[in-house]
Amino acid sequence: MSDSIIKSLGAGSGIDTTSLVSQLVEIERAPLQSRLDTKEEKLDAQISAYGVLKSSLSELQSALSPLADNDTYNARSVAFPDTDVITPNSVDPGAQTGTYQIEVVDVARAQSLASAAQSDKDAALGASGTMTITFGEWTYNGSNEPIAPFTVNDEKAALNIIVEAGDSLQEIAEKINAEEDAGIQASVLLVDGQYQLLMTAPSGASNAMQITTTADGDDNGSLVDFEFNATNFSTMTETQQATDAELKVNGLTVYRDTNDIDDVIQGFDFTLNTADPGQSYTFSVSEDPSLAEQAIRDFVEAYNLFYETAENLTKYKEDEEGNTVRSDLATDGSAKAIINSIRGTIASAVPGVDDAFTALTNVGIRTELDGTLSIDEDDFNLALNDNFELIESLFATDTSSSSDKVKVSVGSYANNTVAGDYDIAITTDPVKGAIQANVITNTAFDNGADDFGALGGSLNTGLLGNYSFVVTVDGTESNEITLTGDYTTVEELRADLQSLINGDTNLKEARAAVDVTYDTATDQFLFTSRQYGSSSNVSFSGTTVETQSLGLADSGLTVTAGVDAAGTIGGEAAFGSGNILLPALDSDPYGLNFTILEGATADTVAAGGSLSINFSRGFAGELSNLIDEFLSNTGAIKTREDSINSQLNDVESDREDLDRKMERVEARLYSQFLAMERIVSSFQSTGDQLDGILERLPFTASNS
């Protein structure tokens, strides 16, 4: 509306028309505005109420977390004496209970080797080639000098350090430290103005180092000075021999290669600090059900808090004056459905649980008339004391199999897995790829004694030709591997073959490895991949006449192909990869993973054609899974919030429509009042013209 029109209003009539129009527009707007305000206020309150409901659900889910954890029901406590000899570190859930006496006879020590002194740690040594570090156990003579045989630790892969002519003492140390899996610590120390390379192996007698070197064509330095073996140990000084820890547990002597002990008493981790022979320390590991008891009580408290919050959001209630007040979600069907679903889960039997305890009532948890939960202390204590293992199966995830050859685990897609019993039939066992070498024909081999005694008592591969080969494991080809050891028995050779192959840098990077075994009846080596399945394989190439005398050849060997496990789960064909079997996509058991061991097929046949497995996520898992569904991006709460926000957007759109409507009303009223003002103005103009007209008329006389 233009200013000129507004200013003209009231000019003729003297009425404050602008104010009057504003009041008339406001009167017409008021009821419509009020309805929109009321609707918006209600929708905002519902959004806020859903925020409170989500927060309350999250807090309830947090209380379910310890209930769903199997470790809660396997908690242990330790009573340990105050001593500096042994330090208790941790006790795992499920640790073996009992009373123990420990005597520390000796502690484990690590072998340390120091190189000859150098004047400059950063100067190039001019030596190039490969430094091979093999782990194992030394035998010593009366002068504490290492002598053959060196017993290779075939569980530890050999370490190959490539040394270049430009490498310094410091750079060699850095290359050794870069091989983190080996566990060797290398450092360059300044001693009396000279630098020495100090190498420390992992502790334990079987983790001592044997160092051999192979020079390349450019080697003009002294790489051989870093050797430590039965024939060359003069330049590398052994500053400390490797020893095992020796301890007695309840009178039983135990040896370990480390002072951090975690496998003597199952689940109990402790550290040996110093030897104290003759002195025993007594301690006990016992079950601790208090953690589970508290978790259950915390859940009941959390549920009651949730239920109170939910009731306040969804029920009609009285205010302080006795008037009935409707809560923000009192008419919201989605909110009520969520609460009813949770109440239904509380009252129902847990799917998949086949034991005597299938519902909360079995452990003394009762539902009161007002909907809250309570604990019957007598029944609760009886369950804790007499049936504690059933409490775990009621609350936490439980999987079982009728065969120890079929292991069941819960995968990352188990949220939608249907709890219950399933039949599983294994039709094909998994197989590891393998290759069997030919019979050993080396002239130094004495097959009657399985040793190398025909030529002076040993086979020195470093002197008697080129014992080299390349092995391909699971599709990954190794670098050239060369045997340089001096072997008196086939067992020594077997252990070194396994260590050297698994220490190859290409194979380690691809996580490919083999187990090497020897058949004493046929005098043949067997190389078996550590991986199951169709991608598992072993083959040789680049073999020499010398390695062929040990049975290794490029072709003509007996090959075993790797095979994937196969079978059905729940009556549907399963997907097999290696020794893992997965249920069909979107089938009821999908989300469970099955590890199949050799012999599962025989167990299937013995069981009449199928084995049985059971899966239950427990009460805590079921309720937590339900809450996850409600809180998800596609869940009931998000869907309802989207609907409310859509209605809020509609309210905003209605406000804009109302504004436009009121603008039109205002314009119409202004137009009408403007027309009125023009009429009034016309009347005034006519009145002015009529004023004194009688005096101006002709032939009229005025009164005197």
Model confidence pLDDT, tens digit, residues 277-298: 999 999 999 999 999 999 999 9
pLDDT above 70 for 699: no
- 24 vs 588: CA distance, rounded Å: 67
Looking at residue 97, the DSSP 8-state letter turns out to be P
- 464 vs 466: CA distance, rounded Å: 7
pLDDT above 60 for 7: no
Look at 683 and 272; give whichever has higher pLDDT. Answer: 272
pLDDT above 70 for 217: no
pLDDT band with cut points at 50, 70 and 90 for residue 651: confident
pLDDT band with cut points at 50, 70 and 90 for residue 394: very high
pLDDT above 70 for 689: no
Triad 490, 491, 494: Cα angle to 5°: 85
pLDDT band with cut points at 50, 70 and 90 for residue 579: very high
pLDDT band with cut points at 50, 70 and 90 for residue 9: very low
- 121 vs 99: CA distance, rounded Å: 54
State pLDDT tens for residues 176-193. Answer: 999 988 899 999 999 999
pLDDT of residue 2: 47
CA proximity to 587, closest of 410, 414, 352, 397? 414
pLDDT band with cut points at 50, 70 and 90 for residue 655: confident
Q: How far is CA 323 from CA 182, 413, 621, in A?
A: 77, 50, 42
Q: What are the backbone angles phi and psi of residue 82, rounded to the nearest 5°?
A: -85, 110
pLDDT above 70 for 12: no
pLDDT above 70 for 684: no
Q: Containing H/E element for 500?
A: helix 490-502
pLDDT of residue 14: 61
pLDDT of residue 5: 46
pLDDT of residue 149: 84
Task: Mark 59-90 as b/e (b = at least 16 C-beta within 10 Å).
Answer: ebbebbebbbbeebbbbbebebeebebbebee
pLDDT above 60 for 10: no
pLDDT above 80 for 162: yes
- 256 vs 206: CA distance, rounded Å: 10
The sign one gets for the Cα dihedral 453, 456, 458, 459 is: negative
Query: Does this chain's domain 110-243 share its CATH topology with 432-560?
Result: yes
- 223 vs 30: CA distance, rounded Å: 97
State pLDDT tens for residues 100-143. Answer: 999 999 999 999 999 999 999 999 998 899 999 999 999 999 88
**Of 10-14, 131-135, 351-355, 661-665, which gets the smallest average pLDDT?**
10-14
| Summary mean pLDDT of the chain | 90
Look at 457 and 473; give whichever has higher pLDDT. Answer: 473
pLDDT band with cut points at 50, 70 and 90 for residue 219: low
CATH fold for domain 110-243: Alpha-Beta Plaits (3.30.70)
> What does the domain layout of the chain look like in residue ranges?
3-67+636-686, 76-107+246-287, 110-243, 290-398, 399-430+565-616, 432-560
- pTM to 2 decimal places: 0.77
pLDDT of residue 336: 92
The mean per-residue pLDDT over the stretch 458-480 comes to 92
pLDDT above 50 for 449: yes
- 286 vs 91: CA distance, rounded Å: 10
The mean per-residue pLDDT over the stretch 299-325 comes to 85
pLDDT band with cut points at 50, 70 and 90 for residue 435: very high
CATH 3.30.70 holds for 432-560: yes
Q: How far is CA 619 from CA 347, 366, 388, 485, in A?
A: 11, 15, 15, 61
482, two tokens: 């060369």
ω into 149 cis (within 30 of 0)? yes
pLDDT band with cut points at 50, 70 and 90 for residue 1: very low
pLDDT of residue 319: 67
Contacts of the segment 53-56: beta carbons below 8 A, 24+ positions apart: 53/309, 53/310, 53/313, 53/329, 53/335, 53/338, 53/637, 54/631, 54/637, 56/305, 56/306, 56/309, 56/310
pLDDT band with cut points at 50, 70 and 90 for residue 36: confident
**Of 142-156, 373-387, 450-464, 632-646, which gets the smallest average pLDDT?**
450-464
